[in-house]
Amino acid sequence: MAASTTRLSTLYPHIPPSAIESFHAHLASSTRVLALLGAGLSASSGLPTFRGAGGLWRTHEATDLATPQAFSADPGLVWQFYSYRRHMALNVKPNMAHYALAEFAKKMPGFQTLSQNVDGLSPRAGHPAEQLKLLHGSLFDVKCHNFFCNYVETANYTDPIVPALALPTDEDVDLTTNAAREASREARELDIADISVALPDVPETALPHCPSCGGLLRPGVVWFGESLPAGVLETVDAFLEDPLGVDLILVIGTSARVFPAAGYIEIARSRGARVAVINTEMDLPPGQLTKDDWFFQGDAAVIVPELLRPVVGDLEGVEEKL
212 marked as binding residue: no
- Residue 144 counted as an annotated binding residue: yes
How many degrees, rounded to 5, is the angle at CA 133 between CA 80 and CA 76?
10
Among 87, 98, 127, 136, the active-site one is 136
Q: Please give the Cα distance from 182 to 134 (Å, whole number).
A: 40
E strand or H helix that includes residue 318: helix 318-321
Comparing CA positions, the residue from 137, 138, 131 lying closest to residue 104 is: 131
Under 8 Å CB-to-CB from 91, ≥6 apart: which residues? 186
Q: CA-to-CA distance for 97 and 41, rounded, in angstroms?
A: 8
Q: Is residue 163 classed exposed, middle or buried when 0-12, 13-18 and 19+ CB atoms within 10 A define those classes?
A: exposed
- Determine contact, residues 92/45, Cβ cutoff 8 Å: yes
| 260 labelled binding-site residue | no
Active site residue 145: no
Pseudo-torsion of CA 68, 69, 74, 77, nearest 10°?
-50
CB 149 within 8 A of CB 212: yes
Query: What are the start-end ranges of the H helices in 135-219?
Result: 178-182, 185-188
C-alpha 147/C-alpha 127 separation (Å) is 31
Annotation-wise, does 16 bind a ligand? no
Active-site residue set = 136
Residues annotated in a binding site for Zn(2+): 144, 149, 210, 213
Annotated binding site: 144, 149, 210, 213
